[in-house]
Structure 1
Amino acid sequence: MQGTTGTGYLPSVGGVQSTDGSGFASSLTGAVENVQQLQDASSDLAIKAVTGDLEDIHNATIASSRAAVTLELVAAVRNKGVDAFTEIMRMQA
């Protein structure tokens, strides 16, 4: 099987193997921190655009889109995790 390269939207986990869920937890924590950094960068560029200090509007647009897509991805992963947990709890009841 060929290796895949990341998109840069989420940090790579690179071979983390654990059965206690710590790998998933650290991946999710890293993703949330990455979302925060992307949103901060997007906000900084938006402020520059409003004040007239922005040199390239393309960078602001890309940063905004990247932050939005990453947030949607993290929310989707979170929702799938909650759904899986709910299904497991339903099967045990």
Structure 2
Amino acid sequence: MVDKLNGLNIGINQLQRLQPVTNKTESTNSVSFGDTLKQALNQVNKLENESSKMGKLLAAGKIDNLHDVVIAGQKASIAVELTVQVRNKAVEAYQEVMRMQV
């Protein structure tokens, strides 16, 4: 349980390090919501690829430290869980807006 909470903190810290979301205008160089989302998904993908790569290296006997492999796997797992929960909340919010009467 503590590992999951620590991993969740890592995922939240990674999301907090993203640049603030602002409206994109012609006169400023700001980051759009889509760009921020794409960046976050790329980070999750990077964690998944790193975990997979370390697992393969462990199976090949090229990594001696099992702890690093397990930690990479947990980071990737928690990042995916966080992504799924954010997606679920976004879908839930969309459905709620669609149920509103105008």
Q: CA deviation at 1:23?
A: 3.7
Provide the C-alpha distance between the structure 2 equivalents of 1:68 and 1:24, rounded to a whole number of angstroms: 24
Instruction: State the one-letter code of the partner of 1:79.
Output: N
Question: 1:69-88 to 2 correspondence within 5 Å?
Answer: 69-88=78-97
Is 2:61 the counterpart of 1:56? no
Q: How many residues align?
A: 85
Question: 1:3-82 to 2 correspondence within 5 Å?
Answer: 7-8=13-14, 10=15, 12-18=17-23, 23-82=32-91
TM-score with structure 2 setting the length: 0.71
Structure ranking higher on relative contact order (CA contacts 8 Å, 6+ apart): 2
TM-score with structure 1 setting the length: 0.77
User: Percent of counterpart pairs with the same letter?
Assistant: 32
Query: Runs of 5+ in structure 2 lacking a partner?
Result: 1-11, 25-30
Provide the C-alpha distance between the structure 1 equivalents of 2:99 and 2:84, rounded to a whole number of angstroms: 22
Provide the C-alpha distance between the structure 2 equivalents of 1:32 and 1:11, rounded to a whole number of angstroms: 14
Q: Considering only aligned residues, what root-mean-square deviation do their CA atoms show, in Å?
A: 2.2
Poorly superposed stretches of 4+, deviation over 6 Å:
none
Would the alpha carbon gap of residues 11 and 52 (structure 1) be closer, same or farther in structure 2, given more than 3 Å must change? farther
Provide the C-alpha distance between the structure 1 equivalents of 2:43 and 2:60, rounded to a whole number of angstroms: 26
